[in-house]
Structure formats: structure tokens, C-alpha cells
Chains A and B, each alone.
Chain A
Amino acid sequence: MASVELRNVWKIYKGDVEAVKNVSWKCEDREFFSILGPSGCGKSSSLRMIAGLEEITKGEIIFNDRVVNHLRPKERNVAMVFENWALYPNLSVYENIAFPLRARNMPKNIIDEKVKAAARFLDLEGILHKNAQRLSGGEMQRVSIGRAIVREPDVLIMDEPISHLDASLRARMREELKTQVSRLGVTTLYITHDQVESMAMADRIAVMNQGEIQQIGTPLEIYHHPYTEFVAGFIGEPPANFVDVEVFVEKEKHFIKCSAFSFELNKFWSKQFDSKRENRIRMGVRPEDIGISFEATENCCGLLVDFVEIQGDRTIITLKVGDQLFLSEVLGDIRPETGQTIYVKFNQDNIHFFSLEDGKNLFFDAEMKS
């Protein structure tokens, strides 16, 4: 078992492509740590450096207290579940799982024991002698996990292991993966572009974009207190809404104003804006934090309904906010008409304000404290 730490790690490819820029984080022993980000954000480069498949341009990678920069993959005792699984296509399931053990020249009877144990664990006993090319997606995935865990690695790295499965299988596999990995109690690095997978499985998530770490935190921290506008927009489905607003003070009360609406801020936000004088900022709000009613109430804003998407359990309403569109998610029995004006109230406990310059959450520390 091992902890994994990246210290100021850079990956610069030929032609000055900066894939990973000065990334630092630490995944504790036995932690399920997820790296989340859109494609091309540097998450795969990070993991390939950790596995030893890619050289580290700058910085250090540390397992426990040992710098592993110059160790070859096989000396690091990491196991990897690849995107597309990368099974050995010419070998049987049994031989695929036995491969890492044979590479270590283990005695035959021990190999047999371990392979059978792994097969039992992953429910692969019935297909041990099937050729790897003839498996279904779910089976391939389990074989690749079997191959990874059979040699009891210090670190288990998974690179988009279920992204290529169809939606229903993916949901089941999420659950299964999480159960299996927690039973093993191994340090796990899980790379994905799917925020649902990260949210559902990880102890902590590192959100990456364009080679940089955006935020590291538990799933709930990241969801409720995004450190940057990118995180707020990337996590959550449907995505959060953003609009540029102005803050103004009138009769010692703070108001938010944009071309389409204005409303009064609550005490918490008033206090924040008292200490931090920012005028032009960007407001972010999640669809489920936009409450609607058909009649005007105090401190609400009237908005025009642009489109209504009925999903049964919930209704997603597209609202016109100036020349922008906002998504609001409400319960399924609320079904306004297109073209109707409805009255909107933002849940001020869950709105965020970002700097127009660097996209950072202006009041992140205050949010975390509250």
C-alpha cells in the first residue's frame, strides 16, 4: 500500500505543448482519488507519468516517501486498468490474468491459486478459458480489473475504465467497481471525464482543466463550493448558469442587477460585499437553485419562458435572461407554457460569485466557513 504525491509536476511534449502545468496533490494511502476533467486537460498525461509510461518533464512523483521518477513501470508496483482495457487479444481470460504473475516468474501452483481467487472475486470463473477478444464489454472490464489486482499492487490506476460501456451497464459498473475497490482497500487513482463517476465513487476529486488543477476536494465540497467558474460549470447536469451582474448599494441594502433582473442580497452576501468592493462580477447558479412561481412574490424576478422540457420526474425550463438563456430544474408537476412570464427566486445559499478576470470564486473561503 502506498500514498501517491505529485510535487510541482510538469509535462511538456515536443513542440512546447504543456499538458500538465505545475500540478501538486497527494492521494493518501487507501484513498479513492479521482482526477476529473474534459479531454485534453492533462489527466491522462498525469496518470501515465505516475505509471511510468511517460517521462516527467519537471517535478517529482513520490510513492510513500520515495521518489519514483526514475523507476521503470515494473519497479513501481502499480497496476493499471486502461481505457479500452488493453487486454492481450491473443490470450485467454486465464492467461490475461496470469500474465503479470508469469512475468514475475511465480511458481505455477501459486499463479493458479491467485488467478482462480481473482476470478472468483470478479465472477469470471465461467469464462476463464474464453479468448479475450470474444468477451462483452462488461466482461473485458472485469478481466482488466482482475489482471490489475491479481498481483496486489501498491497503487491501482484506472483510466476511464467504464467510459466505453453503454449507459445502463455504466451505471451498474460504477457501483460494482466502487464495491470491489473498497473491498480490496488499495490506493486508487481514477481518471475520468464523467463527473457522475467521480461524484459517485471518489473520496476526493481533483478537477483539472488545461493542464492545471482547478480544485481538490470531496465531491460535496466541489459541488457546493466550486473554487473556479470552470468547476461550477463542469460539475452538475444540467450545467450551472452564469450571467455578468453588477452589485449596487441602495439605502444600505445590497442588490444584484443585470439587464434582465435585479434582486436584493441576503445578509451573508451583504456582509461579504461590504468587505470586498467588487462591482462587475459574474454570478453562477445551479438549475435546481432557481425556484419558480407563477405569481410575483417579494424579491423575485419575472422572466420569459423560452422552452419547456418535460422529463416526467422533473421539468427543465429554459428562461430568457437578456440575450442569454438560463436553465431551471423544477419538480415534474410544474409545467409552465412557452412564452409565459414566470417569477424566479434564486436560492441565495447556493449562488456563487466569480471574478471576471481569473474566474475564481470571490468568496470561496467565506463559503467554506459558513
Chain B
Amino acid sequence: MKNKLEQISPRIMAIPAWVFLIFFSIVPLIYVVSSSLTNSTLAQPFKDFIWFNNYKQAILDENFGRSLLNTFLFAFVVTSLETLLGFLLAYAVRGIRGLSTLLRSIALLPMFTPPVAVSMIWKLIYDPNSGLMNHYLMQWGITKGLIAFLGDSKLAFPSIMFADIWQWTPFCFILCYAALQALPKAPFEAAEVDGASGWTVFKRLTLPLVLPQVIVVFLFKLLISLKVFDLVYMLTFGGPGNITQVASFYIYRVAFKQFNTGYAAALSFLMLLIITIIATLVIKGREFFMRRSE
């Protein structure tokens, strides 16, 4: 009797997780996939079954293609910079004892702030008339006139990226810091006794040992960046023109401005596929790297 209960109980305890997964992941996924095969609108879900027409349209959709490119550009640029900055910061402060709790708390602040609030603050900073950015750039003599950061076709995207880097570098910093702290101490002491210089230790020990974890950090943040929506929505609303239109924002427009939910569902599913492929590639790359280093 007891044995049977012991056998079943793990499954019973997993039920809440299953329920959660079913209602919040599996059901929506099925819903999206099935509505992507129809001509649904916001008012008439599952109207007219049209097979893969939405997908055919998506492949030919220039706007979608451009927004995808924007997404990738955004995601790879900010993720690379954030991971690099986060790692360098973590490496710089790794030896400072007793600082870690304080640093962690401070570093987490931008992540505690709701994205909408972060976006609002950056919108105010970038403001062409009363923004802090213009104020200081002019005070320090770097620029002469007022700049509309978010309205300028060359500056709008970099401005969004800058805000994202401000918000997410701490995330990379904390993960890299943890990875550095988790390195075994003994090989580094051995290197000290062996007389290796700081640069040699970094190049031949620290970096190779920590790189697999850093790649995971990169992957995490990349997946987060590919979904970027809030900053674009709040700061530029895809503009000027559609220069900062990223995929998630385009999908939002199709669904809630054009009310074409069937098509939006197809676009969403394509996004899912593309992100999965990218994630798989990064993971495979990491495995390849780790095997080579063995």
C-alpha cells in the first residue's frame, strides 16, 4: 500500500506544474497554431479555414522581413555589449571582498524597476526639449544644438539599444559574477605559485573556464532581447517611420491595430520557430566549444 503511494506521489505533486504548463503554454500554443491557419479577426476568431495562406503571405511580407532583421540587429548588438560589459565589470570587482552583497543589491535595481517605468524615464532623458541627455551633452560641449534622439532616423535605434544596455547589463553582470565566484580556487593559487602574470592567468585559465557559463548568459539575454517590445512601444512606437519596428511590435500592430489575429498568429509561430533555431545553434556552438576545449 505504502509502496504504491510512494510510486504515485511524485506524479501527484507534479500536477500543479502540469496544470500550469497546460493552461499557460500548451493550450495557448495550440490556440495560436490553429488560429494561424484561419482568417481570424479580433471580433471573429477562427473565421474561414485557409490552410497555410497566412504563412505564404508572411514569407512575402516585406514589413515582417524588415522587422525580423531589426529584431536580430537589436538582439545581437545589445546582447553582445551587455554580456561583454557585464563580464568585464564582474571581472573587475571579483576580488573585492564583502562587496558582493551590496553590489548585487545595487545591480539588481534596474531589473526591479518595471519595464514601463524604465521606458518612461528614458523617454524623459531623451526628450529633445527638456531631457537630461541634451542638457549634459550641451553643457559638456559635446553637441551644439538640441537633438531629437528618438525622432532621428539614425539615432532612434541606438537610443533604444542604449536604454536596453542600461537596464540589462546588471543582469549579465550578476550572472558572470556568480560564474567567476564559482570557479575553483586551487588552480588560481597554483598559477600564483607558478609565477603566472595576471594576463596569462586571465587568458589561459579564467576565460576558458568561465566561457561556457558566459555563453549561457549570452543565450539567456539573447532570447529575452528577441522578444523586445516594451522599449519600442514606449520610446518610439516603431518610428520614425518604421525604422525601429521590431518583430514583436509588428505582430502587435497586425493583431491589435489591423485586427488581423489569424495572420498575427502565423507571424508569432514563425517567430517561435526562428528563436528556437537560433537558441539551438547557440547551444550547439557551446557544446562544440566545450568538446574542443577538453
Q: A residues touching B (Cβ–Cβ < 8 Å)?
A: 51-53, 72-74, 78-80, 82-84, 86-91, 99-100, 102-104, 131, 133-134, 147, 151
The CB with the most chain A CB atoms within 10 A, among B186, B189, B193, B196, is that of: B193
* Interface pick from B106-114, B203-211, B273-281: B203-211
Interface string of B208-224 (1 = CB under 8 A from A): 11000000000000000
What's the nearest-Cβ distance from chain B to residue A141, in Å? 14
Apart from A88-B190, A88-B205, 7 more pairs, CB < 8 Å: A53-B192, A74-B196, A80-B190, A99-B204, A100-B194, A147-B190, A151-B194
Interface string of B181-202 (1 = CB under 8 A from A): 0001011011111111100100
List B contacts of A147 (CB < 8 A). 190, 194
Whether B192 lies near A73 (C-beta < 8 A) is: yes
Instruction: Across the interface, name the chain B residue whose C-beta is closest to A81.
Output: B190
Given contacts A91-B204, A131-B294, contact A86 B190 (CB under 8 A): yes
**Partner of A90 from B186, B196, B293 at Cβ < 8 Å:** B293
List A contacts of B190 (CB < 8 A). 80, 82, 86-88, 147
Q: B residues touching A (Cβ–Cβ < 8 Å)?
A: 184, 186-187, 189-197, 200, 204-205, 208-209, 293-294
List B contacts of A133 (CB < 8 A). 294
**Partner of A103 from B200, B208, B209, B294 at Cβ < 8 Å:** B200
Give Cα distance in the complex from A52 to B197, angstroms: 15
**Partner of B204 from A51, A78, A88, A151 at Cβ < 8 Å:** A88
Whether A103 lies near B197 (C-beta < 8 A) is: yes
List A contacts of B205 (CB < 8 A). 88, 90
Give Cα distance in the complex from A72 to B294, angstroms: 32
Given contacts A86-B189, A89-B209, contact A74 B294 (CB under 8 A): no
20 contacts between A and B (CB under 8 A): A52-B192, A52-B193, A53-B189, A53-B193, A72-B192, A74-B193, A80-B193, A82-B186, A83-B186, A86-B189, A88-B204, A89-B187, A90-B204, A90-B293, A99-B191, A99-B194, A103-B194, A104-B195, A147-B190, A147-B194
Give Cα distance in the complex from A89 to B187, angstroms: 8
Instruction: Across the interface, name the chain B residue whose C-beta is closest to A85.
Output: B186
Instruction: Across the interface, name the chain B residue whose C-beta is closest to A83.
Output: B186
Whether B204 lies near A73 (C-beta < 8 A) is: no
Given contacts A86-B186, A89-B187, contact A78 B294 (CB under 8 A): no
Whether B208 lies near A90 (C-beta < 8 A) is: yes
Whether A87 lies near B187 (C-beta < 8 A) is: yes
What's the nearest-Cβ distance from chain B to residue A290, in Å? 44
List A contacts of B196 (CB < 8 A). 74, 99-100, 103
Give Cα distance in the complex from A310 to B162, angstroms: 78
Give Cα distance in the complex from A89 to B208, angstroms: 10
Whether B293 lies near A73 (C-beta < 8 A) is: no
List B contacts of A78 (CB < 8 A). 193
**Partner of A73 from B193, B197, B208 at Cβ < 8 Å:** B193
List A contacts of B193 (CB < 8 A). 51-53, 73-74, 78-80
The 10 closest A-B pairs by CB, nearest first: A74-B195, A86-B186, A100-B194, A103-B196, A90-B208, A86-B190, A103-B195, A73-B193, A80-B193, A73-B192
List B contacts of A53 (CB < 8 A). 189, 192-193
